[in-house]
Structure 1
């Protein structure tokens, strides 16, 4: 079971297709070289957040991802939230929630918070704290857009040799200035 994870995100546009906008958003997030496998939303009790790492191209990589595609003139957003909850007997583990849509940061964060609270409630747990990573984009004329936010589990072989990845590298200049600023917020309850 992976014990380390990182959180990342990116927004991008393409004049070619929604798929190319998604691919460019993954490049900006630093995970385009991975074979991404979606998993559900539980963090192990001993999971640890680390800085993003460079993962070898082609590695099968587990993640929880929020994705929103859009067309010219639309405002889109995607966000991921992770938090820790505790049972009355002291058992503690984490949850991950995604949100996406034609939304701003405030709407995304509210939806994520409500989802995390409900995940804890239906398990008889209390949400202790949570953090969010959100991306938002206003898509220019004649372009397709994509916003992604992801919680990425560090593959086992990389846990011993964590390497920082140079994020935001590799995109043409005209795609670099399309996204609003990313937001990461820490919240204690």
Structure 2
């Protein structure tokens, strides 16, 4: 399938991570501790909506440089002492009859256990495919649940992290027919030299 418009921020890889934690101080501290458990507390997280590029690939969790602006889809649930909380993310691939395909991501959270979260995610992914008139060809889930102890605040997080990308990866062609920012690298490397080709947006 040909996609005539592409963007600079086109991630290629992603990973899934999760964490649960409690804190006697505040819900914010419980959230921060959950991010530590998930291995992403050092990132400047930016929440985005729920679409995966057609050629995106899932990889093992990576350690990201502290301070990096990092895009993610996150499910989060905060709770008080003795509450049961849960959060989860489901992701899958959808395809149309004419070969168009890409990935979708759904989030769920609440005062729920793992089966309830799983059921909710399944329905959400199916509905997301349905309203696009596309078929859900495969799906996976990651769910995190926690029963909070007495005198504690709690938090569960599950995140799909878009791996920060290099320029070459961000400007790749997912279609051979169309080019996007085809000489941006040349402009950046040699800013005083006229570009050999016009940048087509």
Distance 1:151 1:81 in 2: 9
Shift in alpha-carbon separation, 1:25–1:158, aligned structure 2, 3 A: farther
| 1:149-164 correspondence runs (5 A) | 149-157=158-166
Distance in structure 2 (CA, Å) of the matches to 1:70 and 1:53: 28
Aligned-partner Cα distance in 1 for 2:100–2:114: 32
- 1:5 aligned to 2:14? yes
Shift of 1:92: 1.1
Q: Is the 8 A contact 1:2 1:156 kept in 2?
A: yes
Residues 43 and 96 in structure 1, CA contact (< 8 A), matched pair in contact too? yes
Whether 2:119 is the aligned partner of 1:107: answer no
TM-score, reference length from structure 2: 0.78
For residues 159 and 50 of structure 1, the distance between their equivalents in structure 2, rounded to whole angstroms, comes to 18
- Whole-angstrom distance in 2 between the partners of 1:152 and 1:146: 18
Q: Is the 8 A contact 1:9 1:28 kept in 2?
A: yes
Q: 1:73 aligns with which of 64, 82, 85?
A: 82
Gaps of 5+ in 1: 161-189
Q: For 2:167 and 2:144, how far apart are their aligned partners in 1?
A: 26
Task: Give the C-alpha shift of residue 158 in structure 1.
Answer: 10
CA–CA separation in structure 2 for the residues paired with 1:150 and 1:92? 22
Considering only aligned residues, what root-mean-square deviation do their CA atoms show, in Å?
A: 1.4
Aligned to 2:33: 24
Give the CA deviation at 1:90. 1.0
Which secondary structure does the structure 1 equivalent of 2:11 belong to? coil
Find 1:98's aligned residue among 74, 94, 107: 107
Aligned residue in 2 for 1:58: 67
- Would you say 1:34 and 2:43 are equivalent positions? yes
Secondary structure of the corresponding residue to residue 109 of structure 1:
helix
Cα distance between partner residues in 2 of 1:107 and 1:47: 28
Deviation at 1:157, TM superposition (A): 3.6
3-state SS of paired residue (1:111): helix
Partners in 2 of 1:147 and 1:63 — Cα distance? 15
Residues 4 and 159 of structure 1 are in contact (CA less than 8 Å); yes or no, is this contact kept in structure 2? no
For the residue of structure 2 that corresponds to 1:2, the secondary structure is coil
Considering fraction of residues, name the structure with more strand.
1
Aligned residues: 160
**Matched residue of 2:141: which SS?**
strand
Q: Which runs of 5+ in 2 are unaligned?
A: 1-9, 170-201
Which residue number in structure 2 is paired with residue 87 of structure 1? 96
Structure 2 residue 147 is the aligned partner of structure 1 residue 129: no
